[in-house]
């Protein structure tokens, strides 16, 4: 029971970080209908940017805030340079551009920061576990989860209570109606990419504190895809719940199945679960069900 409880709680905490990255997937899909396959590289860049600020002597929390600002700039630049001219083009064309963008960003990261594993030195969080009852929790998981939840609350409040957030939701629901009301589609798409860079970047920084930072952090960003599909590609609450479910599933499979199926079953299990889940719920838990009548 102690091992199960520790595995479950750690999975929930890692799932909170996955939910933060999943938010970036959902935002871009909601606003443009595009599945951004470069999301893993956005996570990777955010991790290295935060590390660079931290190595320059800036405390971790201000480094995360600066990473958010850098994410805004990079998101707007990426959308303007690579995707702005593709508004109105077939969705498949835009998706293939994001594939090319992922390879470009991965190569850029290797050129700037190299491929060796790097860690936050000195450690950001204490190495001594926090004991709650009979459960011991690593501070890096606890504080990463708390920071992820705070940022999720801020992003959700932004969409619900600000004019810009409401404009983005209106465009996602009905682009033609939003344009007729004076909403700028170019602004909405740029804002979606900016927020995706922000959420994925901070998620990468938090994951980097847990496992160290190297090029494989980009794969961890892609690992969030099952969470997005599980919750529904256009559902923000679904991204949060899906991220937590995948975090728990990954941790439980790693604890109980790795001993029988060695070789990384915890990385495979989320995708296997996604494939089976889609057979019964093709639109995810809260995805929009599109019904066409002929």
Beta carbons of 165 and 158 less than 8 angstroms apart? yes
Query: Is the four-CA dihedral 194, 200, 204, 210 of positive or negative sign?
Result: positive
For residue 251, is it left (φ>0), alpha (ψ between -120 and 50) or beta? alpha
What is the C-alpha R_g of the chain?
Answer: 19
d(CA 167, CA 154): 17
pTM of the model: 0.86
All structural domains of the chain, each given as residue ranges with its CATH number in brackets, are: 2-280 (1.10.3470)
Burial state string for 37-54 with b = 16 or more CB within 10 A and e = fewer than 16: bbbbbbbbbbbbbbbbbb
pLDDT score at 290: 60
Kind and range of the H or E run holding 171: helix 163-173
Q: Environment class of residue 11 by beta-carbon count within 10 Å: exposed (0-12), middle (13-18) or buried (19+)? A: buried
Query: Is the four-CA dihedral 136, 139, 141, 143 of positive or negative sign?
Result: positive
The single residue listed with the structure tokens 């606003």 is 31
* Regions in the chain scoring below 50 on pLDDT: 294
86: tokens are 């593709």
Beta carbons of 44 and 58 less than 8 angstroms apart? no
pLDDT score at 289: 62
Residue 44 phi, psi (nearest 5): -65, -45
pLDDT score at 39: 87
As beta bridge partners, residue 213 has 118
d(CA 210, CA 155): 23
89: tokens are 């083009």
- Mapped onto helix, strand or coil, the DSSP state of residue 137 is strand
- Mapped onto helix, strand or coil, the DSSP state of residue 59 is coil
d(CA 269, CA 120): 29
């Amino acid at each position: 029971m102690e091992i199960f409880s520790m595995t479950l709680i750690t999975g929930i905490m890692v799932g909170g970080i996955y939910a933060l990255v999943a938010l970036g997937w959902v935002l871009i899909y909601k606003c443009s209908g595009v599945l951004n396959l470069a999301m893993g590289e956005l996570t990777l860049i955010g991790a290295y940017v935060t590390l660079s600020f931290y190595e320059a002597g800036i405390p971790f929390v201000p480094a995360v805030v600066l990473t958010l600002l850098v994410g805004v700039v990079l998101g707007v630049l990426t959308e303007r340079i690579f995707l702005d001219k593709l508004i109105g083009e077939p969705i498949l064309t835009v998706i293939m551009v994001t594939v090319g963008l992922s390879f470009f960003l991965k190569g850029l990261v290797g050129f700037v920061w190299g491929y060796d594993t790097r860690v936050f030195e000195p450690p950001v969080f204490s190495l001594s576990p926090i004991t709650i009852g009979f459960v011991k929790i690593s501070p890096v998981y606890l504080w990463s989860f708390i920071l992820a939840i705070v940022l999720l609350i801020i992003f959700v409040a932004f969409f619900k209570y600000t004019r810009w957030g409401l404009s983005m939701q209106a465009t996602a629901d009905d682009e033609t109606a939003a344009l007729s009301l004076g909403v700028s589609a170019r602004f909405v798409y740029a804002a979606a990419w900016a927020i995706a860079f922000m959420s994925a970047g901070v998620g990468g920084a938090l994951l980097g504190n847990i496992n160290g930072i190297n090029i494989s952090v980009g794969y961890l960003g892609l690992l969030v895809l099952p969470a997005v599909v599980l919750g529904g590609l256009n559902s923000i609450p679904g991204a949060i719940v899906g991220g937590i479910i995948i975090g728990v599933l990954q941790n439980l499979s790693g604890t109980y199945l790795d001993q029988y199926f060695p070789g990384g079953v915890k990385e495979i299990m989320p995708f296997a679960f996604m494939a089976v889940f889609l057979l019964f719920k093709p639109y995810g838990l809260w995805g929009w069900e599109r019904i066409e009548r002929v």
